[in-house]
């Protein structure tokens, strides 16, 4: 009898735990599908801690036709999150493979297989290999193994093909064909049959294939293969598909995932593509009916799109505007380029008028020498170098190039020759060493490390990095110049110029360029005050390297690339919080630069104590994107530059979002003046303005303070600040104000 009671007790305890688990899982995923983004993020965080029991309960919910919607969205969103983290991705793949056997319905089993494909981890290979013999799921399993795209997955497919028969054999063969980039619909040239060894080579091949693709299936397969190659170059290749209505939704999802996985994918073209992608990722993206097993793109889009949009919008908000890749060629004309005038040393000796006249003449001539045709920048074979209008210091550059037989060209870095381009068959001039070397070096290495050129008539890709005088060059993904000092060809006794133009060399033979992108690399040197401001008495509050002059919520203000970034994600409650100068100031001139993001809100604290709401216990000078739609109903005293609630500012003098604004705040006694980008937008006596009550009809005890801290007053938005400096205005013995 006692044994029966014990067994019954154990059974009831187990049943209670199971019921509790089911209830817990239901509660955690209850926010899906995405009505409250903040709640879904909390749910995903909770799922990090799930064990086998919780995952089995999720599968049980997937098996239930009336309950499967929420777990479907929850699992797909969690897979999207896990795919960006290697350890989390492996753990989730192991968990799903372990609980697959508990799934009862076709829907649940197929859905789990697709999530394993999205994760792309070897932990799923064993399960998927066993399913290759299953008549119902062999096609799904084969496609999933192709999406995992590892040597282990390929080995599993190859092994299965030996014993497969009938429809199963067709599924496995189609997956292997896709794995090996074999598409029967496309006639592959002898060049494409060559072994492709680097991501750069693969991207060159994929761009050629995309240009030849005539069907939706062919284009989607190119996108799928590009999605497996991380980095900026693959992002830009996929971004071109946003203009193709047959594949733009798939392209949008790939772009989002590439960008979320790599913070270095940035720049105006990147931002424009991601903003367009946001509008295309809407709702569940199910593959159209009638597509065969070789259509692998159905596995890259899923029901997680609302969550992906949320993450992408936040990514866009955090994405820096500076130091990203910029296109040097728009594919249509020579905007951004100019004709060559002599060499850097000779140009520096010319008067402004003489240089301007020479440039006008060179620009007229270049129109016949360099042309934009069919999306390519082409040198006709006659004329002089083509130069960028802008000068560059440290930079990173991508460029595709193609020459004809006996071709000879090059890329001048900071106005100096050159990263060499030539036909390697020209042994009479030493071209057999290959392209990518610093040809004009004498003391330092001039030859490339090895030959990595593609055959004449095919496209090649340079990835050039220049820091200081050192140059690194990758040709078609192969390192050919490794951190070699570039010598000053024009004056061998002097180092290379700190900043100069980039030139495409004219050497008498045809050369074509495309996909020219450049990113300026910020200096890590300290930012010093100008001699003029030092003489005037200004003191730096931020040199680009530390926040030693500041106190407060420093976790919400990060230093990135020499600027202070308000980072709400790192600030805890308060969304950025307040950061104050350690020193207090009475009368002063405060200068700084700021960069807004869409809808951004912050403020400058004046005469502020370290505790309390600085807008009232001190004064707050508004920092605000008051042109954003969300601020249509602002009161005049809330415009950017206003003394909040007290003195209104003039509107309309902010620069466009992403550009740096210059601001000066001057306080003398109760007089205050705010100058934005050279225009006085706020000026008045705050004591006089508030003597009959403030404009916002609230108490502002801070107006009575005569000293206090300067501060940044965060309101939960991303902004950037730099070049902060202050000048104290001291009082002379007669009680008058004098400038220090």
Residue 409 or residue 119, greater confidence: 409
- With respect to residue 433, please indicate whether it lies within any of the assigned structural domains: yes
Q: Quick one: pLDDT at residue 305?
A: 67
Q: What is the mean pLDDT of residues 3-22?
A: 43
In 349-438, where does DSSP find H-type helix?
A: 352-369
* Residue 288 pLDDT class (50, 70, 90 cuts): very low
Question: Are 513 and 236 in contact, with CB atoms under 8 Å apart?
Answer: no
- In Å, what is the CA distance from 527 to each residue of 109, 390, 547, 548? 59, 22, 13, 14
DSSP annotation string for 182-250: --TTS---TTTTS---SHHHHHHHHHHHHHH--SHHHHHHHHHHHHTS-SHHHHHHHHGGGG-TTTHHH
- With respect to residue 32, please indicate whether it lies within any of the assigned structural domains: no
* Residue 304 pLDDT class (50, 70, 90 cuts): low
Q: What is the mean pLDDT of the chain?
A: 87
Question: Which of 704, 728, 735, 721 lies closest to 584 in space, CA to CA?
Answer: 728
Domain match, 467 and 613 both? no
Domain match, 367 and 513 both? yes
CATH number of the domain to which 433 belongs: 2.60.120.560
| C-alpha torsion angle, residues 592, 593, 595, 599 (rounded to 10) | 40
Q: Quick one: pLDDT at residue 328?
A: 97
Domain match, 731 and 628 both? yes
Query: Of 501, 520, 539, which closes a domain?
Result: 520
Q: How far apart (Å, rounded) are the C-alpha atoms in residues 121 and 145?
A: 9
Domain match, 431 and 576 both? no
Question: Which of 724, 547, 726, 709 lies closest to 620 in space, CA to CA?
Answer: 709
Domain match, 516 and 539 both? no
Q: Quick one: pLDDT at residue 554?
A: 80
Q: Quick one: pLDDT at residue 181?
A: 53
Q: How far apart (Å, rounded) are the C-alpha atoms in residues 426 and 404?
A: 12
Domain match, 623 and 509 both? no
Q: Is the pLDDT of residue 581 over 90?
A: yes
pLDDT digits (tens, 9 = 90+) for 113-145: 988 988 888 899 999 999 988 888 888 888 889
Question: Are 333 and 372 in contact, with CB atoms under 8 Å apart?
Answer: yes
Query: Of 467, 490, 520, which closes a domain?
Result: 520
Q: How much of the chain exceeds pLDDT 90, in percent?
A: 66
- With respect to residue 296, please indicate whether it lies within any of the assigned structural domains: no
Give the other-Cβ count within 10 Å of 495's Cβ: 12
* Residue 624 pLDDT class (50, 70, 90 cuts): very high
DSSP annotation string for 589-652: EEEEEEE--TT-EEEEEEEE-SSS-HHHHSEEEEEE-TTSGGGTT--GGGSTT-BTTTB----S
Tokens 């003046």 label which residue?
A: 673
- With respect to residue 63, please indicate whether it lies within any of the assigned structural domains: no
Q: How far apart (Å, rounded) are the C-alpha atoms in residues 63 and 75?
A: 13
How many domains is the chain partitioned into structurally? 2
Query: Coil, helix or strand for 38?
Result: helix
Least confident of 62-76, 310-324, 436-450, 458-472: 62-76
pLDDT digits (tens, 9 = 90+) for 672-724: 999 999 999 999 999 999 999 999 999 999 999 999 999 999 888 899 999 99
Specify which residues 467 forms β-bridges with.
Answer: 470
φ/ψ of residue 517, rounded to 5: -130, 140
* Residue 286 pLDDT class (50, 70, 90 cuts): very low
Report the alpha-carbon angle 331-334-335, nearest 5. 95
Question: Which of 294, 117, 304 lies closest to 220 in space, CA to CA?
Answer: 294
Domain match, 362 and 409 both? yes
* Residue 168 pLDDT class (50, 70, 90 cuts): confident
Query: Of 520, 553, 586, which closes a domain?
Result: 520
Domain match, 457 and 539 both? no
Report the alpha-carbon angle 199-203-208, nearest 5. 150
pLDDT digits (tens, 9 = 90+) for 77-121: 888 788 778 888 899 999 999 999 999 999 899 989 988 988 888
Q: How much of the chain exceeds pLDDT 70, in percent?
A: 88
* Residue 261 pLDDT class (50, 70, 90 cuts): very high
pTM (predicted TM-score): 0.74
pLDDT digits (tens, 9 = 90+) for 513-557: 999 999 999 988 888 899 999 999 999 999 999 999 999 888 889
Domain that holds residue 564: 531-739
Give the other-Cβ count within 10 Å of 228's Cβ: 14
Q: Is the pLDDT of residue 303 over 90?
A: no
Q: Quick one: pLDDT at residue 151?
A: 87
Q: Is the pLDDT of residue 459 over 60?
A: yes
What residues contact residue 96 under an 8 Å CB cut-off, 6+ apart? 55, 112, 115, 116, 119, 124
- With respect to residue 498, please indicate whether it lies within any of the assigned structural domains: yes
Domain match, 538 and 409 both? no
Domain match, 470 and 555 both? no
Least confident of 73-87, 424-438, 499-513: 73-87
User: If residue 315 lies in a helix (H) or strand (E), which one and from where to where?
Assistant: helix 305-318
User: In the structure encoding, which two tokens stand for residue 284, read together?
Assistant: 């569940």
Domain match, 513 and 559 both? no
- With respect to residue 19, please indicate whether it lies within any of the assigned structural domains: no
Question: Are 424 and 437 in contact, with CB atoms under 8 Å apart?
Answer: no
What residues contact residue 430 under an 8 Å CB cut-off, 6+ apart? none
Least confident of 34-38, 211-215, 293-297, 364-368: 293-297
Q: Quick one: pLDDT at residue 180?
A: 67
Q: Quick one: pLDDT at residue 379?
A: 93
Q: What is the mean pLDDT of residues 159-166?
A: 87
- With respect to residue 458, please indicate whether it lies within any of the assigned structural domains: yes
- With respect to residue 713, please indicate whether it lies within any of the assigned structural domains: yes
Domain match, 515 and 537 both? no
Specify which residues 130 forms β-bridges with.
Answer: none
Sign of CA dihedral 715, 716, 721, 725: positive
Burial 667-690 (b: 16+ CB within 10 A, else e): beeeebebbbeeeebbebebeebb
- In Å, what is the CA distance from 643 to each residue of 138, 421, 688? 68, 59, 13
Q: Is the pLDDT of residue 17 over 50?
A: no
Q: How far apart (Å, rounded) are the C-alpha atoms in residues 303 and 312?
A: 15
């Amino acid at each position: 009898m006692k044994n029966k009671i014990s067994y019954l007790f154990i059974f009831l305890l187990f049943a209670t735990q199971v019921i509790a688990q089911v209830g817990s899982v239901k509660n955690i995923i209850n926010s899906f599908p995405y009505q409250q983004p903040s709640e879904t993020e909390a749910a995903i965080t909770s799922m990090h801690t799930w064990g086998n029991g919780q995952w089995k309960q999720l599968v049980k919910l997937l098996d239930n036709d009336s309950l499967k919607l929420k777990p479907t969205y929850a699992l797909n969103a969690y897979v999207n999150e896990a795919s960006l983290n290697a350890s989390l991705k492996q753990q989730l793949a192991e968990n799903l493979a372990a609980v697959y056997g508990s799934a009862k319905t076709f829907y649940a089993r197929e859905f789990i297989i697709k999530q394993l494909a999205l994760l792309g981890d070897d932990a799923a290979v064993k399960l998927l290999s066993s399913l290759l013999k299953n008549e119902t799921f062999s096609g799904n399993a084969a496609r999933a193994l192709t999406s995992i795209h590892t040597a282990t997955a390929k080995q599993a497919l190859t092994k299965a093909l030996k014993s497969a028969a009938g429809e199963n054999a067709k599924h496995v063969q189609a997956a292997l064909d896709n794995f090996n980039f074999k598409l029967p619909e496309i006639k592959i040239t002898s060049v494409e049959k060559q072994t492709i060894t680097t991501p750069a080579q693969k991207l060159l091949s994929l761009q050629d294939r995309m240009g030849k693709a005539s069907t939706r299936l062919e284009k989607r397969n190119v996108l799928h293969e590009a999605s497996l190659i991380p980095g900026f170059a693959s992002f830009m290749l996929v971004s071109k598909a946003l203009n193709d209505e047959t594949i733009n939704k798939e392209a949008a999802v790939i772009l989002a995932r590439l960008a979320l996985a790599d913070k270095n994918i940035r720049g105006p073209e990147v931002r424009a593509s991601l903003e367009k992608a946001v509008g295309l990722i809407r709702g569940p993206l199910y593959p159209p009916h009638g597509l065969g097993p070789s259509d692998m793109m159905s596995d890259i889009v899923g029901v997680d799109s609302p969550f992906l949009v949320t993450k992408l919008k936040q990514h866009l908000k955090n994405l820096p505007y500076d130091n990203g890749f910029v296109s040097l060629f728009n594919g249509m004309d020579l905007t951004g380029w100019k004709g060559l005038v002599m060499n850097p040393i000779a140009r520096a000796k010319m008067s402004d008028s003489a240089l301007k006249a020479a440039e006008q003449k060179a620009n007229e001539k270049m129109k016949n020498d360099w042309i934009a045709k069919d999306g390519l920048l082409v040198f006709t074979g006659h004329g002089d170098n083509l130069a960028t209008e802008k000068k560059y210091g440290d930079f990173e550059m991508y460029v595709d190039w193609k020459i004809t037989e006996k071709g000879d060209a090059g890329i001048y870095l900071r106005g100096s020759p050159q990263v060499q381009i030539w036909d390697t068959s020209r042994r009479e001039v030493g071209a057999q060493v290959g392209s990518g070397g610093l040809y004009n070096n004498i003391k330092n290495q001039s030859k490339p490390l090895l030959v990595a050129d593609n055959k004449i008539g095919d496209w090649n890709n340079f990835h050039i990095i220049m820091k200081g005088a050192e140059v690194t060059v990758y040709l078609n993904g192969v390192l050919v110049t490794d951190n070699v000092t570039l010598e000053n060809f024009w004056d061998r006794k002097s180092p290379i110029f700190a900043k100069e133009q980039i030139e495409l060399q004219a050497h008498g033979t045809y050369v074509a360029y495309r996909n020219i992108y450049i990113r300026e690399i910020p200096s890590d040197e300290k930012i010093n005050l100008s001699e003029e401001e030092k003489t005037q008495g200004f003191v730096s509050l931020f040199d680009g390297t530390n926040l030693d002059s500041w106190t407060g919520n420093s976790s919400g203000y990060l230093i990135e690339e020499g600027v202070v970034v308000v980072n709400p994600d790192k600030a805890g409650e308060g969304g950025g919080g307040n950061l104050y100068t350690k020193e207090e100031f009475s009368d002063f001139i405060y200068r700084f630069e700021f960069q807004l993001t869409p809808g951004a809100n912050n403020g400058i604290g004046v005469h502020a104590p370290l505790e309390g709401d600085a807008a009232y216990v001190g004064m707050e000078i508004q920092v605000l994107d008051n042109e954003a739609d969300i601020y249509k109903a602002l009161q005049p005293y809330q415009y950017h530059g206003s003394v909040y609630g007290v003195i209104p500012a003039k509107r309309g003098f902010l620069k466009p979002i992403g550009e740096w604004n210059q601001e000066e705040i001057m306080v003398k006694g109760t007089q205050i003046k705010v100058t934005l980008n050279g225009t006085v937008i706020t000026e008045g006596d705050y004591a006089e303005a508030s003597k009959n009550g403030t404009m916002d009809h609230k108490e502002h005890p801070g107006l009575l303070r005569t000293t206090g801290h300067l501060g940044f007053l965060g309101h939960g938005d991303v902004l950037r600040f730099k070049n902060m400096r202050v000048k104290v205005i001291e009082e002379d013995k007669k009680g008058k104000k004098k400038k220090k």
